């Protein structure tokens, strides 16, 4: 039986950098998730009778909203939903399922790397038929719909049993519960040389993968341990938990500190990696070497032809604007396109679809390629393993040799978290107003507010971050986070190019100290926010 439930709009359902993300307590309000999901469906065309993929990162509140989404899909006329067993799908695995099974789209329940649990965050995101996040045009339409919605349709309870794989029905709709790992693992096997990695393991090569109590546990156990043959225990924190075991599932040196302390000093595993809540981010470390995500993108691109999936070469490399320019140097040397997009994965979709870029990445621990339309944590780990297996060098040697060949882009991001929203906006507005007068002083060659003209669909996106570009190519970039759920987060990105290999061993914060001081004084960070130092440095 299909129920039509009367409702009234919520004012705060504007999708951010990556879907609608709010505190669990907000999502638990009656009709809150339903309003948003109905607004998504109301903004789509031609899905009647077609397939919808549904899955989530297993965080607190996932099992409730999964059932809601399935019941609403049935009531709105989808022909089939494909759901991960127990409601689990990593974000890249969901993207793959959408593409592989020609679904009309997918609903992903995740707040990515944000903490989970009753006091944590939750999120809903819609991905389109290419497997990628909905473009702005669609998220704008969804938001507009949330402002006028007056009812939603939902199949009467009960929902469906997601514990067993197989097919059942809900009203006129087929419900297919699938193993979340199988199709994804198959895709990875087509891209990378598993035999070469097995041979590397036989030489005594060891690694640890930290799943951080989140969704990649089952993927990593299957691929790294069962398929590649790394010994049991290689995967740490490999059971997905609703509160991630109390962890903050953000794979950086702070939150994945346990892994970093195991690998970085030496004497432990040769290689360490971690992924986030929904499996799209990655952290890469080796003995004595943390690989920044910006460098990782450049290194993967420079070595891509060593892997079967990219043996034919790359069409181009795309990076988000605040990501360091290390990848541009590789693109230049390879004679391929280098693309600069606004922050957020949705901007890469068109470039990948149009064959303009093959690899893409962000400084925020995201790397990916044409294989799906999301960033992909385990994919990056496997690509590193494939390259390590072929080059038989340590992570540190691969990185330092890369710098020696291309020069080093010293790079750091300083986050000022949980700043008063008004103060943060005030800082940005004041900077924006001063843009014309900033160039020509302090070595600044140009100062602007980044705008992006999509080369494929011609759309223009403005106000994507204030850029101070120095005469020597150094950059300071300011933008406000679009994924937070409380207050504002000011992100300051600082970069400087160093061609002299004799100076590549410098500590990053020291190498950037002059620019860091400038980043604070030019924007008046202390005056506006009351903060003398950032909360997180990556
Ligand atoms: C952050 C990252 C951005 C990433 C997004 C989703 O967004 O900076 O690169 O795409 O999370 O994972 P922000 O909070 O900066 O808007
Ligand atoms: Zn994520």
CA distance 324 to 295: 8
CA distance 297 to 293: 6
Contact 351, 361 (CB under 8 A): no
Does the structure show a pLDDT above 80 at 485?
Answer: no
Q: How many angstroms separate the Cα of 402 from the Cα of each of 329, 368, 429, 486, 506?
A: 11, 20, 39, 39, 16
CA distance 398 to 438: 39
Does the structure show a pLDDT above 80 at 212?
Answer: yes
Contact 348, 318 (CB under 8 A): yes
User: Among 351, 303, 304, 297, which Cα is nearest to 322's?
Assistant: 297
CA distance 476 to 466: 8
Residue with CA at minimum distance from ligand 1 atom 4: 344
Residue with CA at minimum distance from ligand 1 atom 1: 483
Q: How confident is the model at residue 232 (pLDDT cuts 50, 70, 90)?
A: very high
| 317 DSSP 8-state letter | E
Q: How many angstroms separate the Cα of 293 from the Cα of each of 79, 208, 261, 273?
A: 40, 18, 19, 12
Residue 124 CA, ligand 2 centroid: distance in Å = 12
The SS3 call for residue 327 is helix
Residue 114 CA, ligand 1 centroid: distance in Å = 11
Q: What is the pLDDT of residues 325-337, one digit of tens each?
A: 999 999 999 999 9
CA distance 266 to 31: 52
Which of 1-10, 110-119, 235-244, 480-489 shows the lowest per-residue confidence on average (mean pLDDT)?
480-489
For the chain, state the CA radius of gyration: 23
Contact 523, 447 (CB under 8 A): no
Element spanning 444, H or E: strand 444-449
- What's the whole-number mean pLDDT along residues 51-70? 97
The pLDDT value recorded for residue 359 is 98
Q: How confident is the model at residue 470 (pLDDT cuts 50, 70, 90)?
A: very high
Q: What is the pLDDT of residues 143-201, one digit of tens each?
A: 999 999 999 999 999 989 999 999 999 999 999 999 999 999 999 999 999 999 999 99
Residue 375 CA, ligand 2 centroid: distance in Å = 8
Q: Which two tokens stand for residue 280?
A: 């799209």
Find the catalytic residue in 112, 129, 320, 364. 112
Give the angle 135-141-143 at the CA atoms, nearest 5°. 100
Does the structure show a pLDDT above 90 at 346?
Answer: no
Other CB atoms within a 10 A radius of the CB of residue 297 amount to 28
Q: Which two tokens stand for residue 512?
A: 């950037």
Give the angle 61-66-67 at the CA atoms, nearest 5°. 110
Does the structure show a pLDDT above 90 at 296?
Answer: yes
Does the structure show a pLDDT above 90 at 450?
Answer: yes
Tokens 């014309």: give the residue.
436
The pLDDT value recorded for residue 136 is 87
Q: Which atom of ligand 1 is nearest to the CA of 18?
A: 6
- Whole-prediction pTM value? 0.96
Which is it for the CA torsion 364, 370, 374, 378, positive or negative? Answer: negative
Q: Which atom of ligand 1 is nearest to the CA of 489?
A: 14
Q: Which atom of ligand 1 is nearest to the CA of 112?
A: 12
The pLDDT value recorded for residue 303 is 98
Residue with CA at minimum distance from ligand 1 atom 5: 344
CA distance 93 to 107: 12
Does the structure show a pLDDT above 90 at 487?
Answer: no
| 230 DSSP 8-state letter | P
The SS3 call for residue 296 is helix
CA distance 25 to 121: 8
Does the structure show a pLDDT above 90 at 358?
Answer: yes
Q: What is the pLDDT of residues 77-100, one digit of tens each?
A: 999 999 999 999 999 999 999 999
The SS3 call for residue 122 is strand
The pLDDT value recorded for residue 17 is 77
Residue 368 CA, ligand 1 centroid: distance in Å = 14
What protein residues have CB closer than 5 angstroms to ion ligand 2? 112, 276, 278, 280-281
Which is it for the CA torsion 78, 84, 86, 87, positive or negative? Answer: negative
Does the structure show a pLDDT above 80 at 429?
Answer: yes
Contact 410, 508 (CB under 8 A): yes
Give the angle 5-167-112 at the CA atoms, nearest 5°. 65
Residue with CA at minimum distance from ligand 1 atom 3: 344
Residue with CA at minimum distance from ligand 1 atom 11: 483
Q: How confident is the model at residue 483 (pLDDT cuts 50, 70, 90)?
A: confident
Q: Which two tokens stand for residue 80?
A: 């089939």
Q: Which atom of ligand 1 is nearest to the CA of 491?
A: 15
CB burial class (10 A; 0-12, 13-18, 19+) of residue 113?
A: buried
CA atoms within 13 A on the CB side of 503: 13
Q: Do the strands 80-88 and 173-178 form a parallel or antiparallel pair, or are they unpaired?
A: parallel
Q: Do the strands 359-362 and 316-320 form a parallel or antiparallel pair, or are they unpaired?
A: parallel
The pLDDT value recorded for residue 508 is 96
Contact 107, 14 (CB under 8 A): no
Q: Which two tokens stand for residue 159?
A: 């929902």
Q: Which residues line ligand 1 (CB under 6 A)?
A: 17-18, 112, 320, 343-345, 362, 364, 366, 481-483, 491
The pLDDT value recorded for residue 390 is 98
The SS3 call for residue 115 is coil
112 is catalytic: yes
Does the structure show a pLDDT above 80 at 486?
Answer: no
- What's the whole-number mean pLDDT along residues 338-367? 96
Residue 364 CA, ligand 2 centroid: distance in Å = 10
What integer best gives the mean pLDDT of the chain? 96
For the chain, count helices (H), then strands (E).
18, 26
Phi-psi region of 333 (alpha: psi -120 to 50; beta: other; left: phi over 0): alpha
CA distance 206 to 395: 12
Pocket test for ligand 1, best of 18, 95, 297 (most atoms within 8 A of CB): 18
């Amino acid at each position: 039986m299909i129920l039509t439930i009367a409702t009234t709009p919520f004012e705060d359902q504007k999708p951010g950098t990556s879907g609608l993300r709010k505190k669990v307590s907000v999502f638990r309000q009656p009709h809150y998730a339903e309003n948003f999901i109905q607004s998504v469906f109301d903004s789509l065309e031609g899905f009647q009778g077609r397939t919808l993929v549904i899955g989530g990162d297993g965080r607190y509140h996932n099992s409730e909203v999964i059932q809601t989404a399935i019941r609403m899909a049935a009531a709105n006329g989808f022909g089939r939903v494909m759901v991960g067993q127990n409601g689990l799908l990593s974000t890249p695995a969901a993207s793959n399922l959408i593409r592989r099974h020609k679904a009309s789209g997918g609903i992903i329940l995740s707040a990515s790397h944000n903490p989970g649990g009753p006091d944590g965050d939750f999120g809903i995101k819609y991905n389109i038929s290419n497997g990628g996040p909905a473009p702005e045009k669609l998220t704008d339409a969804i938001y507009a719909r949330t402002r006028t919605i007056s009812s939603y349709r939902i199949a009467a309870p009960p929902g469906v049993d997601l514990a067993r794989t197989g097919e059942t029905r809900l009203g006129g709709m087929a419900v297919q519960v699938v193993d979340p790992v199988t199709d994804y693992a198959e895709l990875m096997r087509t891209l990378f040389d598993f035999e070469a990695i097995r041979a590397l393991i036989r030489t005594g090569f060891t690694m640890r993968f930290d799943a951080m109590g989140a969704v990649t546990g089952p993927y990593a156990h299957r691929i790294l341990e069962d398929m590649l043959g790394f010994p049991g225990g290689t995967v740490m924190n490999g059971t997905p938990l609703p509160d991630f075991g109390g962890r903050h599932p953000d794979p950086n040196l702070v939150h994945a500190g346990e892994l970093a302390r195991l690998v970085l000093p030496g004497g432990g595993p040769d290689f360490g990696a971690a992924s986030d809540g929904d499996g799209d981010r990655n952290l890469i470390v080796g003995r004595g070497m943390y690989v920044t995500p910006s460098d990782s993108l450049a290194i993967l691109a420079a070595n891509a032809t060593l892997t079967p999936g990219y043996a034919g070469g790359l069409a181009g490399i795309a990076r988000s604007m605040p990501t360091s320019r290390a990848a541009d140097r590789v693109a230049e040397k390879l004679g391929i396109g280098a693309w600069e997009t606004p922050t957020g994965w949705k901007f890469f979709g068109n470039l990948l679809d149009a064959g303009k870029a093959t690899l893409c990445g962000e400084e925020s621990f995201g790397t990916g390629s044409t294989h799906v339309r999301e960033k992909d944590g385990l994919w990056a780990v496997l690509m590193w393993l494939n390259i390590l297996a072929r080059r038989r060098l340590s992570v540190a040697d691969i990185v330092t040799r890369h710098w020696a060949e291309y020069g080093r882009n010293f790079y750091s991001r300083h986050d000022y978290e949980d700043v008063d929203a008004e103060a943060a906006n005030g800082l940005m507005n004041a900077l924006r107003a001063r843009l014309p007068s900033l160039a020509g002083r302090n070595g600044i060659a140009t100062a602007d507010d980044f705008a992006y003209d999509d080369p494929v669909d011609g759309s223009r996106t403005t106000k994507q971050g204030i850029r101070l570009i120095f005469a020597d190519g150094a950059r300071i970039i300011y933008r406000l986070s679009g994924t937070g759920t409380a207050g504002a987060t000011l992100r300051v990105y600082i970069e400087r190019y160093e061609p002299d290999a004799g100076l590549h061993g410098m500590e990053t914060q020291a190498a950037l100290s002059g620019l860091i001081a400038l980043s604070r004084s030019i924007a008046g960070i202390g005056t506006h926010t009351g903060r003398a130092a950032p909360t997180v440095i990556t």
